[in-house]
Structure 1
Amino acid sequence: MSRPKVMLFSHICGDSFITGAEKYLLVLAGELSQHFDCTLVVPAEGLLLQEAGQRGLNTIVHPIPLVWSMFKPEGSVTKELEEKISRHEHGGIVNLLHMHQPDLVITNTIVNPMPAAAAKALGIPVAWFITEKASAERDTAPAVRWIDRYADWIIGISEATLQPFRAEGLTSKLSLLPPTWRKEELHPEQWTYNRLQRRAEWGIAPEQRLVGYISSSLHPEKGLEHFIYMALKVCPAVPDVQFLIIGNTTDKDYMERCERRIQASGYTHRFHRVSFESNIEMLYPAMDFVVIPSLIEEGFGMTALEGLIFGKTVISYRAGGLDEILRTTGNASGLVEKGDVIGLAMKMLEKLTAAPSELGNQANRREAEEAFGFDTYRLRLSRLMHQFQLRCAALTAERMASPLPPLWMNAVYKSPTASAAFLIENGVKRPFRSSEAFLFYKYRWGDIHEVHDAVLHRYPTSIPVSMEAPFHSHRPSVMLAKGSGPTVYLLMEHRRFPFVSVRSIRQRGWDPERIVTIPDKELTALELGGTLTETASPSVKRARRKRKKQRPVSRRKAQVRPGKRKRKTLTRKRPAKKRLSGSKKASGRSKRKAAGRRRKAA
């Protein structure tokens, strides 16, 4: 029995670093692939595509339209979404789903609604993974209700991401699946060496304490200015402390403002700046403290969890999932109210003056492992996978039990939403590889019939129609063809039936203009069938029937065949004579008959 098919849609695929949402989807795809046939769809080539390929996952590069207003929704977000759907902006994804026919579609992030809309049009179940918290400053209800309408499961990576749905009373579809990590991929045996090597590279002595700030991209919402303000408050009080800023510049003006502030402070020599790299095991071991002054409601806050995994002391603003992580792992003492930069500096001084504890670092790792480790992740995911499998099995059984919708065989169909055309034959649908293939086989654009997406999706997708070799595997199963000679053949499956004339072609409902010229070797490769001769035309048949009806009936009694029911004998009656009225003028024929009778009487 074949395994259910799952398609996972990533909202982005960066070429310089992998975001937390991308990492999350990559781990999810890897785990699901043990029980499902998974395909990861990315909007462009990048690091996620490379990582997925290295892990043996099937991948497809395909455009995925995003709706950024879902993150900061307004009252008009529902109207905007419906307008995008009415313009068929999800049509490309509908095409993709028709081609691959997954049993389940997974979309990640709140700004990635088009895969869900496309799947619903085809009747495919949707699991929507919410990896961020919608802006609390806006009315999230319209966006939340729209997600509930199109999703069969809503899975949050933290309670913070699920809070807007709980506020609307939408609890039946909700599940929690926080991120995790693979310990072996972080190479713990190399941490000590990495610490010494990187500190030497950055000019930091082994005895100096290092406070780190890390973000894949540096922009105002991540709170770098708050980190700098905190550091400048700490510098005079703690002479040996150093500060590390890790991240890629995305806002040049913002970064220049931050650098000017450091330069004006007189403590430039105590700050170190490096670019972000995806191999985090080369970065975290060098730090002693990790500070996360995020000014947005984080969906989870993987940076905090990573800090704990590497055994570091973590200080963070109470911002969405960051609060959950520190409280769950027993590190609530590292929390500061969001935006309280004075409180952040005081908390940092408090942690710096406390005696360092290796036992505390080990406890951080242990608590993080218990709350968010791979075993815990797999246990939570197994419950979801069981639901996925039950739904897929039920839909498969329903399809098997019900007949296919009635469509004309050997006809071309498409949906109003998507651009792909399909040839329906032998109970399957075959996409045309290209417009060139469509025209090569003498199809016309007027041949295409429109049908609802869900009806078309019921037909299994088979080999595309193309001009590729082997020719007979990719051509339409029924078609007109000829080689270099004059004879035209009807190709049906693996046989060829010669026509005797153009008239015999037309008599069987075929258009001689649809004849495709193919190489002789392709024709002779097929078994020769019976000759298709001419049949009597309808006009000849009608004339024969008319003559038969006009044949005179015998005056004798009709002979009755043995075993047949005796019919009443029909006799031809003479018409009654008409008397000519004196007031009416008789016809010429009547006059002649009357004169003849008078002569006989005389």
Structure 2
Amino acid sequence: MSVKSKVMLFSHICHPARMSGAEKWLLFLARTLTEQYEVVLVVPCSGMLSIEAETTGIRIAIQDSPLLWSLYESSPAMHQEFAKQKASNSYRSLLTLLHMHRPDWVIVNTSVNALPAAAAKKAGIPVAWIINEILYPGVHQIDAVRMVNRYADWIIGISEAVLAPFKVSIVNNKKRLISPSWNDAELHPEGWEENRRYLREAHNIGDHETLIGLISGMISVHKGIDQFIYMAGMLMPHFPQVKFLIAGSPEITEYFDKCKTLASSTLDPSRIIFHSFENHIEQLYPALDVVVVPSMIDEGFGMTALEGMAFGKPVVAYDSAGLGELLKNTGNEKFLVPKGDVDGLSQTIADLLQNKDRMLEIGTKNRQASAESFGIGIFQNRFNKLLQEIDAVVHGLNRQYKVQSRHSEGFLLKGHSSYRVFLLENGTKRPFINKAAMARYRFKMKDVQLVREAELQKYPTGHILSKEEPFEVNSPMKMLLIGSGKTIFLRRGGIIHPVSSKKILKKTNRKQIVSVPDDIIVRFKLGSPIRIRKKSTKRRIQRRHAWNRQLKRRSHLTKRTSSAIRSKSIKRNLQRFFKSPDLGYLLKRTGSHRHSKRKQKVD
């Protein structure tokens, strides 16, 4: 059975109470990859993302690292800040993490998550870097593009708007357009009607009433919550049967209070409902009749808009880069409004509210159009092409790694920038859990050899070496042991061999012998004693004669070789002295003439 390749996915955040669009997208990728890879998800802390991933059997590793916001902002300070990050302990910890897990390739999510990409590149691991946001325009945007290009083997953009800054020739062969998608089965369509009824009853919304919603992971100014409330205030006098729902996590208290104040100043504040963040979106979207996305920044994509369409809802949005691109690709250009145009937003929705049948028709059309442009089939086709390229690169690297290394068994190795010390054993590198484990098995830091991080990546990672039980598993496979008695044993795997030779014992360094309790000694299978066998006199004489004959033969060959070397040296010196191209020919003739005279004398 073939061993699955291992991929590590690095998330820049892991919020305890909510999930952003970038986190949802990464979780979707992780679940997709589990079908053919061993997946490890790296998060900065435990949170909703890690909990959701663990429920599907994805392995979690926790490793925090600083984010490079200056790269996203195209700031001139990005290089200086990144140099500080690469000199930090976080960078060394990331390298150590990579050596411990030894992934075949990594996925880094969002432009600000640059340090894991740099660490993976340092270790010689292929990097697929997902860019979810649009880099700030400006003079230094090209520097940000070059930095991403330096550490990424593949640059995955979730929209054309995201990939727009990467149109320089140096990254053309790395760009891939792969947009987020969804799995219909995970949305549980069979429960939509019940979920709609439950949520609307909870907020006293009748069947005859229309519910317009804004859904966001976090209630913040760039999501345009205030724009939505202004719009609601304009629509209230004309549409008394319409209510408005704002769903999101109120983390920015000052802005949330401002929004509450705005809502209270409308004609009927009770018609504006604030709902907490809902992780299971299938319990929220079915209750809505219209989805509004009034984003005030240039979005890389529009996850909320796509989710609304997937649930068969009309979507009205500001024309904000990737968000506008999404609506245009699904035939919803007429529902795009210039950014910040609250009057236009209100009028577009007012036109929709005039005809409920038309709203239902548009929702049905949106569900079909979103599946055709962003459905699972489109995603899999693009993603599988990328995976084929990655698998080919990984296969080539693994073939190179199988070439015999210059390091022998029993060597202690450590990367120049990472923390962990490894023992080479049976073709693998076994990490010591700490310095106490090294001391327990009589290894010293002075014997550790520093190597490049990419050199360590060539060795598969073996079982951790520690002082914990079981001793047979957590200790080196080859070592000298001694119990309460005087007998020294050589351990080889699961067998121990008594060392009975006095000559061997005299040469043995007592500091290398590991003392263990007798109950550990008896766990091993007892092998044959190790001794120096005495050779018979006859056999020794035969070997001596054979050795003497070999020495004579070598001496004769050495003389012949020395003579030939001298002749070549004389010839080369003469050629240099006379600088004549015919000299070689004359020497050959002279040699053949001497040889013919010698032959005539013999005759």
TM bucket by the smaller chain?
0.7 to 0.9
How many residues align? The count is: 535
Q: Which structure carries more helix by proportion? A: 2
1:437 aligns with 2:442: no
Shift of 1:36: 1.9
What does 1:68-467 correspond to in 2, within 5 Å? 68-87=69-88, 89-136=90-137, 139-166=140-167, 170-354=171-355, 356-357=357-358, 358-400=360-402, 402-404=403-405, 406-467=406-467
Shift of 1:269: 2.2
The 3 A distance-change label for structure 1 pair 116 and 234 is same
Contact 1:116 1:126 in 2 (8 A): yes
Contact 2:85 2:115 in 1 (8 A): no
Which one is further off, 349-358 or 333-342?
A: 349-358
| Aligned residue identity for 1:386 | Q
Shift of 1:497: 3.9
What does 1:440-589 correspond to in 2, within 5 Å? 440-493=440-493, 494-498=495-499, 505=505, 507-508=507-508, 510=509, 512-524=510-522, 525-530=524-529
Shift of 1:95: 1.2
Shift of 1:83: 2.7
The 3 A distance-change label for structure 1 pair 208 and 472 is closer
Contact 2:70 2:77 in 1 (8 A): no
Normalising to structure 2: TM-score of the pair? 0.83
Larger of the two Rg values belongs to structure: 1
Shift of 1:499: 6.2
Aligned partners of 1:306 and 1:254: how far apart in 2? 25
Q: Which runs of 5+ in 2 are unaligned?
A: 535-547, 553-603
Shift of 1:397: 2.0
The 3 A distance-change label for structure 1 pair 352 and 97 is same
Normalising to structure 1: TM-score of the pair? 0.83
Per-residue displacement from partner, 1:409-440 (whole Å, max 9, x unpaired)?
32322112111011123432111123321221
What does 1:45-84 correspond to in 2, within 5 Å? 45-84=46-85
Which one is further off, 473-482 or 307-316?
A: 473-482
Aligned partners of 1:325 and 1:103: how far apart in 2? 33
Shift of 1:408: 4.7
Aligned partners of 1:446 and 1:562: how far apart in 2? 45
| Aligned residue identity for 2:69 | W
Aligned partners of 1:230 and 1:167: how far apart in 2? 41
Which one is further off, 18-27 or 57-66?
A: 57-66
| Aligned residue identity for 2:458 | R
What does 1:17-32 correspond to in 2, within 5 Å? 17-32=18-33
| Aligned residue identity for 1:14 | H
RMSD between aligned residues: 2.6
Aligned partners of 2:214 and 2:551: how far apart in 1? 105
Shift of 1:531: 5.2
Aligned partners of 2:322 and 2:339: how far apart in 1? 12
Shift of 1:507: 2.8
Which one is further off, 264-273 or 359-368?
A: 264-273
Contact 1:65 1:90 in 2 (8 A): no
Contact 1:88 1:417 in 2 (8 A): no
Contact 1:71 1:135 in 2 (8 A): yes
Aligned partners of 2:422 and 2:366: how far apart in 1? 57
| Aligned residue identity for 1:380 | R
Aligned partners of 1:338 and 1:243: how far apart in 2? 20
Calculate percent identity across the aligned residue pairs: 38
Shift of 1:226: 0.9
Q: Which runs of 5+ in 1 are unaligned?
A: 536-560, 566-602
